[in-house]
Amino acid sequence: MIYLCRHGQTAFNREHRLQGQMESDLTPLGRRQAAAMGDLLHDLIVRDPPAPWRIVASPLRRARDTAGIIGARLGLPVEFDDRLMELTVGEWEGRLRADLAREDPELFRDKTWFFAAPGGETYDQVMARVAGWLSEQAPEPERRLIVVSHGIAGRLLRGAYAGLPREAILELDVPQDALYRLSAGQLDRFACEPVEDLEPVKDLA
């Protein structure tokens, strides 16, 4: 069993700025989202038969900080694996989506746009590393993992687990207020307790 979480909201998320493998800190909302994930995981894990659990996260700071908040709630240390990192979007890292849309109005109409960045990773490259990580984990039902990753990397990890075709994988959602259980070949979504964003959103368009 794997419980898969995306990191909480970051400053770049709020600004609609592409992160890739750049660092961006969690916002106050992001930290509350991470705490809500920790609370939900605590409740979910209590329902399962006693077994040792591990937390494994991407080493990027937003995932590290999210995993640290979850680990503190569960009393578990955090391990890191580079293969769980977000894809790099090359020359687009740090750029506003609005600016890219002005340069190419057709860009965001194609679900594969994430993999079109100059100098960025391809779908196959990201899939190879997340699927490679998954293949090395203990088999079910012994597997007891909490994974903290990213939007695109987590989407492909879910797809690799469930054996979904590329088109279906690209349609998967990437919430920061919910997590997924990967078990018995199924993907089950669990919503976290809602948390309020107390900061005004800036108009950066």
- The catalytic residues are 7, 86
Q: Which residue has the tokens 């079109």?
A: 116
Q: Is there a contact between 52 and 75 (Cβ–Cβ < 8 Å)?
A: no
> Among residues 152, 182, 191, which one has the least CA distance to residue 39?
191
- Residue 78 vs residues 31, 53, 110, 188: alpha-carbon distances, Å: 17, 11, 36, 23
Q: Which residue has the tokens 């391809």?
A: 122
User: Residue 137 burial (CB < 10 Å; 0-12/13-18/19+)?
Assistant: middle
Q: Which residue has the tokens 């740090």?
A: 94
